[in-house]
A and B are shown apart, each in its own frame.
Chain A
């Protein structure tokens, strides 16, 4: 069973701090990785994609990928209360379908 694992949280950080969200995956054949943000009652929204080892930055968000360790992370700098949401990690399967983790709930406290 190919899996994507995340700590369900909640992860609580003060406003302005760096939030670090982590994810591991079991399928070594996965090539594409995605982070989605899901506000309560809403559908997931794609915020970052990463395909190569290393870091990818987009504004306050940085995605990190380490294929050798089968590890993906998302850093959110200068966290804001509006960042409070559930963050879903996803990895592509060899058939192209996305496998999602259970999500990590982030709470940013003012």
Chain B
């Protein structure tokens, strides 16, 4: 069966520190992968999407970057976190019907 894994579940990081969030998908090959952010009480904002290894599209200019080093691995990074980077980060992939989300990472930048 197809599953999506995302970690860590929660993270508290100081301003200016680096960030690395990882997402992996099992049970499928060459999936479309997405990173979303949800600020408190807000909707889902698409940050990055990838249709294949090394292929990354950015939706909004920001302090974050994404990479896809392997077919089923998607990484979200930052060199220096800002307070405004706090939020709920969700990885998703697209099977035939809609998107399936990972369990999310709640990031608090202090």
Q: A and B, one complex?
A: yes
Q: Which residues of A line the B interface, CB within 8 A?
A: 32, 34, 36, 41-46, 49, 88, 90, 96-98, 100-103
Chain B residues in 8 Å Cβ range of A44: 44, 90, 101
B98 touches A34 (CB 8 A): yes
Q: 19 pairs across A/B with beta carbons < 8 Å?
A: A32-B98, A41-B106, A43-B102, A44-B44, A44-B90, A45-B101, A46-B97, A49-B97, A88-B44, A90-B99, A96-B94, A97-B34, A97-B46, A98-B98, A98-B99, A100-B43, A100-B44, A102-B42, A103-B43
Chain A residues in 8 Å Cβ range of B34: 97
Q: Which of A34, A41, A97, A102 contacts B43 (CB 8 A)?
A: A102
The total of chain B residues at the interface (CB under 8 A) is 18
In whole Å, how far is B42's beta carbon from the nearest beta carbon of chain A? Answer: 7
